[in-house]
Structure 1
């Protein structure tokens, strides 16, 4: 059974609460010319972010590894509490921030490979805010996943390697067995993350 509440809450909330692994910098100090550096939380509508930052109290009481500790168990329940319903909806939200449509952005993240070339270059992938997303734990909400298709591919030595991604952001839903992305990045430049 897929672990959900403890591991996913830690991953999602650490990522959403500020990407603690990334040092705080001023955009004008490291922003590439023509690209607006953004944080992952900026891609999430305010109401989704507020819902995820206010998880239901009962989640803390769910035993790790129990039947209740799964995506399926949580997703199939209906709740009387509006805040809990809103939290559940935010976990799978495809709602986007439309002001980023066709904007050149720069964002840090990790690669989740979807397709590779014969030369083992990753040609299709998701960009996610934290390592292990979609692989070791449930995927982040779709508005926290960006889809990329890049003909020349990207060399990926480890799933734990962070990168900077630059390109033009498009609002476009892409579904895959690994997750669903609410955004797509085009004209992509990928660089190793150096903070």
Structure 2
């Protein structure tokens, strides 16, 4: 009887399976002080060589100089370290396996973050490690990524991130999810 009650409670809260984790909002990765700074930030000009498809040797995701400090923020939320999460976002592929599946990619909160500048702050970029790999045909395809989130400074030629996620599951968002 006790096991049945526990199962019913878990099913009722949507936590019966790892795939049923509640969605983690991107703003949960950002301290409240950064959230307030973003709200007060002036509009950013997107007229840059990267926006037109011209990239520097270092790639288009690196932050340009002169933006408000919050756009460079690596401040993290300690409660998110080693937390099981399910996040929605868009892939920026970094490495693929021999079968062309993405095994390492940045997850970003909005589509096109790899071509529109400025990119999100480092505390809004997540490096995803997924050894199983996922075939990605389009970087504008939204994904669900579930696994263990860690506070980890990542410095890549393409971008800097303040978090990394060891993914247990990665799948394309379906219309039925919305």
TM-score (norm 1): 0.68
Deviations 1:30-86 (A, max 9, x none): 777343421111111111111011113xx57x79459xxxx64524xxxxxxxxxxx
Residue 100 of structure 1 deviates from its aligned partner by 1.0
Gaps of 5+ in 1: 1-27, 76-87
| Residue in 2 that maps onto 1:82 | none
How many residues align? The count is 149
Q: 1:118 to 1:93 in 2, by over 3 A?
A: same
Residue 175 of structure 1 deviates from its aligned partner by 1.1
Two-structure CA RMSD over aligned residues (Å)? 2.5
2:105 aligned with 1:125: yes
Deviation beyond 6 Å, 4+ runs, structure 1:
28-32
Aligned match of 1:90 in 46, 58, 70? 70
Query: Which protein has the larger Cα radius of gyration, Structure 1 or Structure 2?
Result: 2
SS at match of 2:147: strand
TM-score (norm 2): 0.74
Structure-to-structure mapping, 1:1-195, within 5 angstroms? 33-34=17-18, 35-56=21-42, 59=43, 64=47, 72=64, 74-75=66-67, 88-194=68-174, 195=178
Contact preservation (8 Å) 1:31, 1:106: no
